[in-house]
Amino acid sequence: MTHDNKTSRRHPRLRFPGAPGRSLLACALASCLMLSAPAALAQSTAATIRGTVSGNAGPSGNASVTATNLASGLVRKVQTGGDGNYTLAGLPPGTYRIDVNADGQSNTRNVTVAVGQTATLNLSTGGVAETAPSGQSATDIDKVTVTASALAEVRTSENATYISTKQIESLPQGTRNFLAFADTVPGVQFVQASNGSASLRSGAQSSNGVNVYIDGVGQKNYVLPGGISGQDDTRGNPFPQSAIGEYKVITSNYKAEFDQLSSAAITAVTRSGSNEFHGDFFWDNTFEKWRAPTPAEDKAGRKTDSKEEQYGISFGGPIIQDKMHFFVAYEAKEYNTPFTIKPGEGVTAATLPAQFQSLIGGVNAPFKEDLYFAKLDLTLGENHYFELTGKYRDETELTGVDGISTVPFGTAKDNQDKRADLRYQYTGEGWLNDAHLTYEDAAYNPRANAFGNGYVLTRGDIGSSGDKRVLNAGPGENFQNKAQKGWSIQDDLTFTDLQWHGNHTVKMGVKYKVIDVSAAEQIPYNPQFFYDIAGDLASPYLVRFGAGLPGIADGSVESRNKQFGIYIQDDWEVNDKLTLNLGVRWDYETSDVYTDYRTPADVVAALNSQDPRAPAGQSYRQTLAKGGIDLNDFISDGSQRSNFKDAIQPRLGFSYDLNADQRHVIYGGAGRAYDRNIFNNLQLETTKGTFPTYSYRFNQPGHTCTPGVGDCLAFNPGLMNRDALEALVAANPNFGREVFLLSNDLKTPYSDQFSIGMRNAVTIGGTEWQTDVGVSRIVSKDGFAFLLGNRNPDGSFYPPGAKWGPPWGAGVPGFGRALILGVNGIETRANALLVKIDKPYTRESGWGVTLAYTFTDAEENRETGESFSLDHPSLAGFGWHDPKGVPRHRLVATGIYDGPWGLTFSGKLTLASPTGYYFVNCSQSPNGDDAACFTDQYKEDRTVGFKQLDLAVSKEFDIGAGIKFRIRGDVLNVTNARNYNQFDTFAGRLGAPNPNFGDHQDGIILPTRMFKLSMGFSW
């Protein structure tokens, strides 16, 4: 794959016709150039056009091939070699006029290339017809073509699909998140949770493994889950959709230039200004009267006020004709999302005490987002190209308001993301260099929506039977501040068309990044007082609160991480049929919060102290050793740990064009891809040790205890004050303090990927269709998990004769009730059949259709998204299950049609089989005995588990003076399908099965049937 943006001018082909020794010398020289270049790599967004120029007498050597961008005036020139081959690399996606001059003849053709595409275009200058690319009908180049043919990339080993500007603009959509269209790709899901948050995932892996590259720069989230910066539990968008031109989705077998991922790669290109001034304004809106009620609203007999409003403007044009352009975009989202508060544990609103009844019923959670983007580009001559881009994202929202959690208990969250990228590309004689200097500053700040004492209503005690909450009625627990901030310098160097036993395009790059990651976590920030609904609601029976260790720390930590990556890849055209993609990369990251960590001396002393439950002379360390835990693998004095150095990633692929006409191509590949360990997991070793959670019981009727013994106190109202609570633990700050220890040999998560498939161009009734059928196997390993280190005195984990029941309370002597160990071990395995059928939209035909079908046979050894695995001594206890949220069958079909009267119709249909829901199955245990419980999975017994049909129609009016007005209506979830995502998963007890087991509850994946009106102007 060649390079980002602009490419070479005149590059005589470099030849190594002699012995292999010269090839090795060339590789050595290339490596030296790579090592001397400024650091870091840019994932390809630029396109490449390559092929052969032929005349009457065969291949035309020394012919001139020129590509001119019809929008910006950018010009790139190359000359063919003696064999007539040429390569135009580093082309920004768009429409180009291709001029070929040879032997006194001059011919022209217009073509369109997509983001990151390598397309083959064979040209002729005489009476010989060219070989038509991608199944298009052959034409003679001596006729000037005025329409632009969209070239397709078929000779690639990647499992990749393009999302066009037309699809982004036309297909129905509920939110302006450009990633929503990625699920038109086999193997990819755009997942919307019941709270409106969205994420992207591929195969059986979680969204953590995804990475998005915008203009060649990765948007990875280093601190939090979600894969993408700012995409953890948010209704917001990562980027203004009006600033995205098009993008490419690669589900597996990406080339060596892609880093920090183990799942899908999204590479997108932003819009640029052109030689003409253009602008656009949009507004769309919906509210409660334009949507069907949710199940909870149906029961209540009324709908909660809600709205979804989005608006924005974009504008671009020339500063210097053909040389310098600008583009700016702004988008905003204002949501009020409906939720329903209802008490739990079978309690009805009418039976609640009067002071709580006003908290029950429909509520809405506000959300506000502002997105800004700006871009300048400058071309100096044919060799120098500059880009400067900047993005700013600002969000505020209320989350955690639903079910038993009332508005005071909710979380007020701020989310900010600032990025800047200065890019310089130099085009030399047969090579090009692309450098990026980037800066990022992202912050995530959730905090309690109200401050004071929390008020938690429960039914029964909170002992070993679990936390049976009825209502979270007071200020909540959350207080966090997590951020990443830093800079990087990236560089890619590409040599085009090196010749040795075929044609080679060799690309190499290095990366260096300094990123400060930080986390402050003070949970629970507000003291939580628990009251029994059947008892005295003026006097609590329990309090939980958090407090910083006096004189030590306050639950915060910072780390300066340094990242280094290096790669080399060779796209080797062995002949006109076989192409090999050969690459390897290596990544390395330092994290001083992990490597320099020193286990606190008081923790070490406690681990070596007498186990109070064991026979005299048996230390807690010896108890753990009986249970298979060697504390030497976890205790560190700052010298036991090192950063992971083995992230070597071969990436190998091939494509074989059966007839050398791009109509039937077999492809495949194998490779390894390393992701990274999320800082949010690593930081807990420090933050949990410095901001413990404490709890005290109060002697109350129905919750009796002996004051002064253990954690039992006599209640007095003075303890409702935070200062008084902190004074309680000042004498023994370790009381309640959980101990987190990370493995001294942590590895980096990775996936191994294998695929093989075939692409075909098929003509049906004069219409060209593209099909792609492939199979893949992806195995991910070394995912991060927290295990419970507690053991009984004999080293066992479960009670005698049981296979369930963690030994809570058997924590480190003198500390809290839990020892938590951070290890590697989460795995997924996925075998998939991927089918894609595509008739691309063209203005000439007026219609386009896509169909993506995925069959997935997958399993995981821990529930997706659950790093805390505390119910069993190891991950083996959870067993292998279907991956949460991954359907066995999934079909996504889209269509675009230019109808009569200037109307454009579009639609999207998504169907998926049911997915499993995890639960603890105690149906074989008698009441009160959990000995026979086990981790289980429930799946609905029906064919279709998810169904959504979206339709849209739009029309544009020319109102003169170059201004066009458009209006559009979207109907989302036309059939009002209820896609439930909450079920009664209590299976009952031995001899007393739950008759409601498997029944759905009120939670659904939004939207219900909804109409959205959009309008706008363009000029």
Q: What whole-number distance in Å separates Cα of residue 323 and Cα of residue 988?
A: 72
pLDDT at 427 over 90: no
Quick check: 144 pLDDT over 50?
no
What pLDDT, on the 0 to 100 scale, is given for residue 443?
95
Most confident among 131-140, 189-198, 692-701 (mean pLDDT)? 692-701
The mean pLDDT value for 163-190 works out to 92
Residue 39 pLDDT > 60: no
How far apart CA 167 and CA 275 sit, in angstroms, is 24
Give the separation between CA 927 and CA 552, rounded to whole angstroms. Answer: 45
97 vs 966, residue with greater confidence = 966
Q: For residues 357-373, b (16+ Cβ closer than 10 Å) or e, as one string?
A: eebbebbbbebebbbbb
pLDDT at 148: 64
pLDDT at 552: 62
Q: Is the peptide bond before 524 cis (omega within 30 degrees of 0)?
A: yes
Average pLDDT over residues 820-847: 94
Evaluate whether 171 touches 164 at the Cβ level (below 8 Å): no
Could you tell me how many residues make up the chain?
Answer: 1019
Confidence of residue 838 (pLDDT cuts 50, 70, 90): very high
Residue 649 above 50 pLDDT?
yes
Residue 94 is predicted with a pLDDT of 84
Q: Is 731 left (phi over 0), alpha (psi -120 to 50) or beta?
A: alpha
Instruction: List the one residue out of 448, 291, 303 whose CA is nearest residue 361.
Output: 303
Quick one: which of 453, 610, 599, 617 has its CA closest to 539? 453
* Greater model confidence, 326 or 88: 326
Identify the CA nearest to 441 among candidates 222, 679, 179, 200. Answer: 222
| pLDDT over 80 (residue 264) | yes
Average pLDDT over residues 818-825: 95
Task: Give the mean pLDDT of the chain.
Answer: 87
Least confident of 320-334, 343-357, 829-843: 343-357
- Whether residue 136 is predicted with pLDDT greater than 80 in this model: the reply is no
pLDDT for residue 126: 57
Confidence of residue 44 (pLDDT cuts 50, 70, 90): low
The amino acid that residue 784 corresponds to is F
Phi, psi (degrees; rounded to nearest 5) at 207: -65, -15
With H, G, I as helix, E, B as strand and everything else as coil, classify residue 721.
Answer: coil
Judge whether 492 and 257 are in contact, CB under 8 Å: yes
Residue with token string 């790709």: 185
Whole-angstrom distance, CA of residue 663 vs CA of residue 643: 47
Backbone angles phi, psi at 351, to 5 degrees: -90, -5
The confidence score (pLDDT) of residue 376 equals 97
* Domains defined along the chain, listed by start: 46-114+118-150 (2.60.40.10), 159-270 (2.170.130.10), 278-449+480-521+547-692+733-1018 (2.40.170.20)
Query: Which ranges constitute the DSSP H helices of 171-316?
Result: 295-300
Q: Is the sign of the CA dihedral 809, 811, 817, 823 positive or negative?
A: negative
For 588, other C-beta atoms within 10 Å of its C-beta total: 16
How much is the pLDDT for 145? 33
What whole-number distance in Å separates Cα of residue 985 and Cα of residue 917? 8
Which residues, at least 6 apart from 80, have a Cβ–Cβ distance to it below 8 Å?
52, 53, 59, 60, 61, 62, 63, 65, 86, 102
pLDDT at 8: 35
Q: How large is the average pLDDT for residues 970-975?
A: 97
User: Band of the pLDDT at 460, cuts 50, 70, 90?
Assistant: low
DSSP state of 592: H
Taking only the tens place, the pLDDT of each residue in 206-260 is: 999 999 999 999 999 999 999 998 888 888 999 999 999 889 999 998 999 999 9
Taking residues 154-166, what's their average pLDDT? 87
CB neighbour list of residue 492: distance below 8 Å, 6 or more residues apart: 3, 4, 41, 42, 257, 433, 434, 435, 507, 508, 509
- From residue 448, alpha-carbon distances to 442, 455, 723 in Å are 20, 13, 19
Q: What global pTM score does this model have?
A: 0.87
Give pLDDT, residue 553. Answer: 62
What integer pLDDT is reported at residue 1003 of this predicted model? Answer: 85
Checking if the pLDDT of 782 tops 90, the result is yes
What is the 8-class DSSP label of residue 348? Answer: -
pLDDT digits (tens, 9 = 90+) for 76-121: 888 887 778 888 887 888 888 888 888 777 788 888 888 877 888 8
Say yes or no to pLDDT of 146 above 50.
no
